[in-house]
Structure 1
Amino acid sequence: MMAHSEQTKPFIPFKFPEAAALGVPDQYGNKQGQKIPKETIYQQANPTHAVKQLFVNQVDHITWRYKLSADTLNVAASEDVHEIQVFDIHLKADCDALDRQVLETLDKAIPSNIFFRIINANERQPKLQCAMAYKRVNKRDTDVMVVQDYFSSEWATLPVVKSVTEATQKLPVVLNMAGFYTELLRSLLPVPARSGERIDEQLSRISELSALHGKLTQLQDKQRKEKQFNRKVEMNRQINQLKQQIRSLQDI
Structure 2
Amino acid sequence: MNMNNPLNFPATTVVNKSVPKNAFYGRSTDSSLREFLTREFENIVWLYKLAPSTLNVEDGERVHEIAVFHCKMKGDAYSINPFCAMDKLLPRHTLFIIEYEGKIDILMHHKEMTAAKSEQKWTCGVTELQREVSFDTLSLKIEGQSMDAVYSNILSQISGLSASNEVEYKEQAEIRKKVEQLQKQVTSLQKQVRAEKQFNRQMELNAEARRLKKEIAKFQEIINK
Q: For 1:218 and 1:35, locate their aligned partners in 2 and report how far apart those are by CA, in whole Å.
A: 48
SS at match of 2:30: coil
1:74 alignment counterpart:
56
Secondary structure at 1:72 match in 2? helix
Q: How many Å separate the matches in 2 of 1:127 and 1:38?
A: 21
Who is 1:118 aligned against? 98
CA contact (8 A) 2:47 2:69 kept: yes
- Per the alignment, do residues 172 and 35 of structure 1 end up closer, same or farther by CA in structure 2, a change over 3 Å counting? closer
Distance 1:82 1:56, change over 3 A: same
Map 1:23-42 onto structure 2 (within 5 A). Answer: 33-42=16-25
TM-score by length of 1: 0.76
Whether the aligned pair in 1 keeps the contact of 2:111 and 2:125 (CA below 8 Å) is yes
The 2-side partners of 1:142 and 1:187 are apart by 32
8 Å CA contact 1:47, 1:105 repeated in 2: no
Q: Does the alignment pair 1:129 with 2:112?
A: no
Q: 3-state DSSP class of the match of 2:108?
A: strand
Matches within 5 A, 1:187-198: 187-193=157-163, 198=168
Question: How far does residue 110 in structure 1 lie from its aligned partner after superposition?
Answer: 0.7
Structure 1 match to 2:128: 151
Q: Could you tell me which residue of structure 2 aligns to residue 98 of structure 1?
A: 78
CA RMSD of aligned residues (A): 2.5
**Match 1:61 to one of 43, 55, 61:** 43
Q: Is residue 163 of structure 2 the alignment partner of residue 184 of structure 1?
A: no
Q: State the secondary structure of the residue aligned to 2:159.
A: coil
User: What letter is aligned with 2:113?
Assistant: V
**Counterpart residue type for residue 147 of structure 1:** C
Preserved CA contact (<8 Å) 1:15 1:171: no
Query: 1:47 and 2:30 equivalent?
Result: yes
Q: How much does 1:154 deviate?
A: 3.2
Provide the TM-score with structure 2 as the length reference.
Answer: 0.84
Gaps of 5+ in 1: 1-12, 23-32, 159-165
Report which structure shows greater RCO (CA 8 Å, sep ≥6).
1
Q: Partner letter of residue 150 of structure 1? A: T
Aligned residue among 18, 36, 44 for 2:11: 18
8 Å contact kept, 1:191–1:250: no
Q: Output the CA distance in 2 between the equivalents of 1:84 and 1:198.
A: 20
Q: Which amino acid aligns with 2:41?
A: V
Task: String of CA shifts for 1:109-136, please: whole Å, max 9, x gaps.
Answer: 212110111112x2xxx33221101111
Matched-pair identity in %: 26
SS at 2:142's partner residue?
Answer: coil
Matched, 1:88 2:58: no
